[in-house]
Structure 1
């Protein structure tokens, strides 16, 4: 399929004014000309639709849990499910991924449990999973720094002669950070096997993309010397196809690539943000017509998928939601004094004194009844 997709992707020389957005399935669920020409696997679409449904249900439950005081904070992937699911499913399970902090849909696809995802946001642990096992790095809360981590990791992979693709996710806001631009340059200069995946969700907290940058990111990436692709981030099949093509080129020694996926953040920047203060209801309504889950369901129904598939999936999502609630409430953290134990590799008199002072202060309150 990648060769067919390649025929529909413009050459880098045409990027000066920006690349047309690649799309296989339109917002109404019907195939575009490219989709009709290339063909779309209904079986794969069913698998990806399930991933997206479960990811959205996680978001809904986690936000409700945060409002109930069970989580300290939650950053949603609501609306960005197609960009994440389509891209991560196009990679090999052995390819290393460096996420930012809202790649919950991608994390679920890598087998990370809801409890492990929520552990950090409950303040119970720095991270909830082992990156070596899932090939999915812990979340990076420092804006854009994960792109440099991915570039450095890719340099090591290249030195070992591996055909591994190292993927990293970031948003349009992070693209304005120096770290991201440094990573793009270093990856291009070293011809490193990095796939930069930008989820352009139109907002850097409250700053719109149009205010952030004059030139589209995929055009800027081409200026650094990367292969660059522009895709409809709410079309899960188009994202999967483009990511597959980009990863194949990287794996074949073509150097780094960037995919800019146009999507939308339906919720706030985080559970602490009120997006109604900076964007209009009309803007949200217009993007809701492009909802990735509505689109994929419409495509599947028009393709003749049996109603039992949707009934079973709804039941699975309900069971999954119940398990998310149970998992969140069962999360416990280490005792506060444990924070002093990992500051230094060996016992340190300063930490020993501070730990003792903390315990003495806590004891002064007496035991709880």
Structure 2
């Protein structure tokens, strides 16, 4: 049977916490929620690192010193549960979370100071079981509610469940097998000791790695989303239109439905810039973008194609429906002036419509819609022209 030194596991847990602290110190993010969660993770790892300090101390073999370190470890695990809840976007109450962490420490230190050895071991089992089980339940609910999750989420759930089961056995052993108690206080069957010791030893570094990977993945998703969107208006960029548009074209082909391609241009936009300045022109662009977006269906793709020109990919049941939607957009823009401190800025739009065909590409469709837009602008503006 594999034998393991629990004191070494404590030291490894403490050392892993310090390594994890260094790893998470390199992570930077603009999201306040994630920054807050990273702060909680760092405090958790700092509490767990006390285990290493104790093992390196000349007083490491004194029972009260190790009991104090285990109290800090309990607070560290409670902070981990709180931090994961924050990272996953779950509702948290800082005051409540702080009280739970403090109560965990007080429960362990109180049992160590005033309880018998059996009561202290029972307190360890109860506290660590409740915290790890709470983490497992919270992570399980997250996976059920969220259709998009990664391997790190599943790994964390399995690790939390395994960690909780260890403490169930410790609790059973503490109530049914009183004494003698080992000086490291992990009172459980010999066959379970290696599993629990290794779990405790690897927990800090494993958690740090999962958090590091998770936060970096979120940052990559943010960068990707930014690359697909226009900074000024929030609509898709041309790159985003091409990437998501190709998927929409393929999807519409499988569904055998009609895909309308609209090109929209703000009439006389140069005059807006000349009269009111480019900053006000940017505000007008945002206003028109929001107005158009609010009157399109959720399955439509809206992109800023360039300057004051926009593109829309719109799945419809018929060509007549596409023309009706385009006319409604044109009318609502005309009837929705941009309000300023000095008065209203009224704008109109011209719209060209083309329809995707099996023998054309998305670029072909955009070019044909642009030709229809050209016709709309040269036959009076503020109108919709439909192609073949």
Q: TM-score range by the shorter chain?
A: under 0.3
- Taking structure 1 as the reference length, the TM-score comes to 0.22
Based on CA coordinates, which of the two structures has the bigger radius of gyration? 2
- Counting helix residues as a fraction of each chain, which structure ranks higher? 2
